[in-house]
Every structure is written in structure tokens, then in C-alpha cells.
Amino acid sequence: MGFPHKLHSRETPVLSEHFGQAEARSLDGWKKRGGYQALEKALGMTPADIVSVIKESGLRGRGGAGFPTGMKWSFMKPGDGRPHYLCCNADESEPGTFKDREVMRWTPHALVEGCAIGAYAIGAETCYVYIRGEFTEPLLYMEQAISEAYSAGLLGANAMGTGKRVDVHVHKGAGAYICGEETALMNSLEGRRGNPRIKPPFPAVAGVFGQPTTINNVETLAAVPQILMKGAEWYKGMSRSNPKSTGTKLYSVCGNVRNPGTFEVEMGFPFKDFLYDLCGGPLDGRKFKAVIPGGASVPIQTMEEADATLMDYEGFVAQGSMLGSGGVIVIDDAQSMVRVIARLARFFAHESCAQCTQCREGTAWTTKILERIRDGQGTTEDLDTLMDIAENMTGTTICVLSDSCATPVVSGIRKFRSEFESLIQGRRVFPAMAAVA
């Protein structure tokens, strides 16, 4: 549903079906909508059966990387004598992304249920929901939902009277983008500075508190109850293009577009229709110029690329970008690409955890150069330097924040070079600066 807009006829509301209905937030309201039947069913199944249903459904991680969820769950070896943990990554901080926020705002019980099922499926008794610190409203509803679920005996030492233990805890982040990176999230959860960890060991071997851990995105876990109830075949059926991408995806749309908001469509939906029909097209007298389709860290698409895209994991890659988190940022012809990219770079420079040299220094240097170009004081060499720095920042660090900063810069300069050049050529010449250069 295109909250705050009415449901568009071409949307497929699976997760967003009850968005906008305040009643769905309460346990009673949620049960009226069929809530917690899936958990009851799940607790009657073996964990292995749940994992195989999820595997069969083709559900992939909605946080950005698109890793098959069932396979991720199957890495957790049952009966290894160690405590297992499930982490729900609700630290939705990717610029342009606000779909998890809507899930937690309107259907907190969907996530609680998904967490409980996921925890049971991987042999964990505890699930931590790590919520972004700025998400005060989602935090409130999640805490209410969990407390209701405990009072009703749905969670706890004897979940739904089955004798099985499922605990769900909320942990509030303190406002760092990097804590959405799974290993930084684990450090933050443990009370350490939110710095990403070296992999290996992967979380399935040594995650939270050094124990086997699975981390899933909010949207991924919220989809699990419905898949269990309606079946893998139903979920697999929602795939219009590539069979490797199944189900529905929530997109949060912002920027220079007539109807910004959250939309849910099937995998493989045409991006052109999405932008011009669901999102209402550009503002009066404007034209779309570029789209960042998956949150700030994916490559920028030109409109030619965007118009040719089918919206799934493979479709975005085929058109020079990535599905990412589904945070669609639309840029129209009234905007300067240099300004946009400089602002994105500034964000990454601000959020770099400062561990790795390339990221700590590279993001800040990139920002300085971009802002200099933006202010009309750039040189042609600056563009070469930017491309060179970006190369040094890519694939050389512990996590991908550094790569994320380089991505819009590289794609921006490649695809919109003329905008950079016109700013550079129109610059005032400072003889002293030229001598230094």
C-alpha cells in the first residue's frame, strides 16, 4: 500500500496490507487479521521443516545483499551444544529507505511473530531486535507488541503453551549508520563500539557473544509468517521476471516525485510503470534525470537504465545498479548531480566508523573534493583523482561502507560527467591554487 496514499491497484499488498490501520498494532487487532496462527503452526513443526519451506519459497534477504534466507538459516547447526541467537536488523539507516519503519509502525506483531518463528527455526531461544535509535515511534510499538505477546503467553519460557522457549528483546541503537552492518550491529549489541568485525568468522560460527548467530532484516522476517501460512508455492508465484527473485518487495520512494511513500509490488515489476504510474511521475514541468534505486549505496541509474529495469535482484544489476534496500531516490532535472553526490559522500564520511584507513580518509577526502567542485573550485585533475581514490576505496576494507561511498561517485562521474565538467570549466581561476596543484 502506498501509505500515506491509497492502495494502488497494481500493488500487491502482502506486508503492507494493514498499513494505515491503527487497530492492527494491538494484539487483538492483529489476531483478528489472522495473527499468530503462523507461530502456532511453526511451533508444531520441526525447525528443519520450517527451514525447508523458507528455502523452497525462494525468500531472499531484504536488507540489501539478497542472500537466500533459507540457506542462511541452514548454516545454524542444530544440537551443537552452543546457544544460538537470532538478530533482527531494524537499524534501517540507509538514506532513502524507510520501509522497515512502516512495518514496525503498523504491523509490529508481524515482526514479533516472524522473529519468534525465525528463532525457533534456527534453534535459538533468544531474538534481539536492534532498532535504530531515531525510530522512537517504531520502538514504542515494538515494545508494546512484545509486552502484549508476553502477557498473552505467546512468547517466553512456554511459548503458546508448547513448552518451547522463545524470547524477543528490543535493543535501541544510538544513532550510527554503521550499526546496520551486521557485525557492527553485533558489537553494538554487546555494548562495544559499533565497528564491523573481520570475516571470517562469519556470524553463523561466531556472532553475538561469540555464539552462532543469524541476522535477518525486518522485511525478511515479517514475510516469514505469511509464507508459512500460505505456502512456498504461493510466495514463489509472485515472480514476474526471474525465478530467483520471488515474493513482494517494499519500496520506499522519496525525492522529486509526485507521490513519495511506501509501495509494495511483486518481484519483476517494471520500474518505468512503478515510477510514472504508482509514484505519479515527475512534478509539474520537471523531468526525471536519475534514480538511485536501492538506497544511497547503490550505483546511480540514468533514466534510460531505470526505464528498462525489471524490479528484482537480477533486474537492477542488469541495468547498472542493485536492488539494495529498496530505497528509491528520484532526482529530477532541476537538481545538480554534483550537489546530490557531494551530499551522499558527506553522509558516508560522517558515518565511517574510522577503522579502515581507506574509508576513514577516503570518504572525507572524496567529500572535500566533491564540495570543492560543487563550489566552482574544482579542476579536471580532481575528477581523475576522485576515480582513483574510489578505486582504492573499493574492495579493500573490512566492510562495504567505503565501497558504498565510492559507488555513487564512480557511477555519477561516469554517467553525468558533463555536469562535473561544466562546474569545473565555469570556475574562477585562483593562480595561487594552480601553482600548488
Partner 1 sequence: MAEEKMVSLTIEGRPVTVPEGTSILEAAKTAGILIPHYCYHPSLPIPGVCRMCLVEVEKAPKLAASCATSVAEGQVVHVHTDRALEARKGVLEFLLINHPLDCPICDQSGECELQDFTYQEGRADSRYRDPKRFNPVEDFGGDVIYVPNRCILCTRCVRFMDDLAHDTVLNVSERGDRALIGKFEGKGLTHPWAANVIDLCPVGALLSKDFLNKARAWELDRAASICPNCTQGCNIMLEVRDNSVARLKPRPNEEVNKYFICDYGRLNYRWINRQDRADLPMVRSGGVLASAEWEVAIRAAANVLREGRVSLVVSPMLSNEALFLLSLLLERNGGTGVFRVATGDEAPLPGVEDLALRRDRAANVFGAELLGFTRSDNPLESLADGDVLIIADDDLNGVDAATVSRARSIIVIGTTVPDSISPAVILPISNFAEEEGTFTNLRGRVQRFTQAKAAPGLARPSWLVLGDLLGVIGLQERFFLPSEVFSNLAQSRREFSGLSYDTLGMRGLPVLNAGQPVAV
| Site for partner 1, rule CB under 8 A | 176, 178, 193, 198, 349-358, 360-365, 368-369, 372, 381, 385, 388-389, 391-392, 395-398, 433, 436-437
* Residue with grid cell 582513483, as numbered in its chain: 388
* CA 262 vs CA 103, 201, 364: distances in Å: 10, 36, 32
Query: What minimum distance in Å lies between the beta carbon of 211 and partner 1?
Result: 19
E strands present in 222-266: 248-255, 261-266
Query: What minimum distance in Å lies between the beta carbon of 320 and partner 1?
Result: 20
From CA 339, how far away is CA 332, in angstroms rounded?
Answer: 13
211 or 385: CB nearest partner 1: 385
The answer for residues whose C-beta is within 8 angstroms of residue 166's C-beta and 6 or more apart is: 116, 119, 120, 125, 127, 155, 156, 159
Cis before 201? omega within 30? yes
Query: What minimum distance in Å lies between the beta carbon of 391 and partner 1?
Result: 8
50 or 390: CB nearest partner 1: 390
Query: What minimum distance in Å lies between the beta carbon of 41 and partner 1?
Result: 42
* CA 61 vs CA 95, 224, 325: distances in Å: 18, 11, 9
Query: What minimum distance in Å lies between the beta carbon of 343 and partner 1?
Result: 15
329 or 353: CB nearest partner 1: 353
Q: How many C-beta neighbours within 10 Å does residue 287 have?
A: 12
Query: 185 is written with which cell numbers?
Result: 550491529
E strands present in 274-333: 288-292, 301-302, 310-311, 327-332
Q: How many C-beta neighbours within 10 Å does residue 23 have?
A: 11
At residue 394, φ and ψ (nearest 5 deg) are -100, 125
Q: Residue 209: left if φ>0, alpha if ψ -120 to 50, beta else—which one?
A: left
100 or 351: CB nearest partner 1: 351
Find the radius of gyration of the CA atoms of the chain.
Answer: 22
From CA 128, how far away is CA 184, in angstroms rounded?
Answer: 14
Query: What minimum distance in Å lies between the beta carbon of 364 and partner 1?
Result: 4
Query: What minimum distance in Å lies between the beta carbon of 352 and partner 1?
Result: 4
283 or 354: CB nearest partner 1: 354
Query: What minimum distance in Å lies between the beta carbon of 433 and partner 1?
Result: 7
From CA 141, how far away is CA 29, in angstroms rounded?
Answer: 13
From CA 66, how far away is CA 191, in angstroms rounded?
Answer: 28
166 or 406: CB nearest partner 1: 406
330 or 353: CB nearest partner 1: 353
146 or 364: CB nearest partner 1: 364
Query: What minimum distance in Å lies between the beta carbon of 372 and partner 1?
Result: 7
151 or 357: CB nearest partner 1: 357
Query: What minimum distance in Å lies between the beta carbon of 355 and partner 1?
Result: 4
Helix axes 108-121, 47-57, angle to 10 degrees: 120
210 or 243: CB nearest partner 1: 210
